[in-house]
Chains A and B, each alone.
Chain A
Amino acid sequence: MSFVTSGASSFTRFFAIGERPASYREVYLPYIQEYAFWDIDQTDGEESYGWVSTDDITDFGFETEACFRDEFISLAIRVDRRKIPKSIEKLHQRQAEKELLAQTGAEQLSKFQKKELADVVHKKLIQRIPPTPEVFDMVWNTLTDEVFLGATNQAAIDRFIDMFTTTFRLGLRLAFPYALGDKLVTEQALKERLEELEPADYRPKGLDSTESKDESHE
């Protein structure tokens, strides 16, 4: 579900940086298609990710301009991951080693043989593990260049910055306090003060510094 229509939304804000093409719908649709989600079942990889429709995470063809809604671009990133539980991988590795020892009649396997066997076991198992999907969506206001990401964790933020900048060939700046201040403050003298700003000291002057901290928990 989109963070926009979710009952309790959480989001991180960014600003797109750079020049957007005037006919951005025509330009961006092939870009989005280029970095669309790729079904992990068609690969033997452990992870697959890319753009999908916000309304339907199984729709990643982008044959229409449905992701463009008035001045907004609405997309979701889908990340599918396969992860083999370590205990299962160890169990299968041990079984495979026993079988190879029995076949070859050797007393022990070399490091190289063990590594080769581990790769075979891993490849076999990974195809049997169903992928777990994770989805987070974004809304980009192309009039203000404000971008909302419906996630707040660092891994999602890093993935999103990478996907956005690669797909749209634009910069993306997190709207953290200093960056937002830099955008809002337009007067040069105030910009310089912002750059030199030190933390405020709200403590009343003449306060007895021995005031007990325990008291504040009451």
Chain B
Amino acid sequence: MTPDPAVTVVVPTRHRAASLSRALDALGRQDLPGGDLEVVVVDDGGGEPPMAREAPAGLRVRLLRTSGRGAAAARNAGADAARAPLLIFLDDDVEASPGLVRAHLEAHRRGASLTIGDLPARTEAATGFFAVTLRNWWASMFAEMRRPAHRFTFRDILTGNCAIATGLFRELGGFDASLRCHEDYELGFRAIRAGARVAFCQSAAGVHHETTTLERSLERKRAEGRADVALVRKHPEVLSCLPVGVVVHVRPKEPRGWRGLAFDRPGTAGAVLAGLRRSLEAFEALRMRGRWLRRLYLMLEMAYWQGVAGEVGTRAALEDLARAAAAAPARPAWWLRVDLSEGLAAAAARVDAARADGVVVRYRGNPVGALPPVPGAEPLRGVHLRAAVSDGLAWPLLRALGQSGDAAIEERGGRLAPIACLPREALDLR
């Protein structure tokens, strides 16, 4: 009998034999002892079995079938069959780097319970401006998560390349299989609320062979619109973090203009999108990047609102949803107070220990500012305080330093000026 593996990799797949065998080949090349890894392929497509040829030698692969119940159900089935204490969800279009599994494993051994791996995109089907935009979109998302001071929220949880402790996944009851999109956000929301420690893992990289076209992006946006409505119904407090939240938080008349077409004249929205599509081609031929990009964003937003409208129906129903979400009882936020005169290291350590939702920052009793609570975000950590101090809270901190007389700074007509050239004696807040 073979010993239990250390990691189970779950790969859901649907009618993509070629990319699946590329994914399995890459899993066969992991720099990890062979017995430590098992792979569960979950075929959600039906028809022909997805493995066109043998799995790579030495790789333990099991095949399950869920026949069309969606990716969330497929991943749940894979997780149910898992024998390892760590689950890695990998999409079938991801080609794992040799260190992917080991990097996730090590991050979990260091205390993380939910890790997101890097997914540099290779845009294959798209060309021209769209390919550039698509690649940048992926790159920006991961560049943001790579910042040490990034505060993770449920919207960072992507199942293309992520690892979660099997115990935590089962405690949470897995993915909500009724969602056909954003089921990863939904799981992320519950995981973070349950205290999961989220981390980004750059060395757990997998190349994402992105085959999206503009048509598929629009279809995806419609699915996101539908999913976001379902998400708000389930967890009302996330409303303000989703694009649909603009209904209550920015202007009451949103969505307006073209974006509102899906509500006001649903029959014409499709024709308008087709017209815009043609204008995109013209702008690209003329190399008018700014107009092209604004047009693309408009189209994606229109598709999103089509999805929202398809799910809720009318504007009145959308407003009811927003009102109900705003009235829903929210979990009270935990606040921590720190005073930076105790030193930044000490204050940061207190933030790390408290795991608070919000932090009020003072200096010798003078107000500096706050790190506010964010729905669906991880508790604040010391690095968040450190980053805020040299960024958003910097100006009020300088003023508070001057007011307390600890640094030779004075305010002159709205500007801060160093007195006597500069605070000569060293002030050390480390």
Partners in one complex: no
Q: What is B's interface to A at a CB cutoff of 8 Å?
A: none
Residues of A within 8 A of B (CB): none
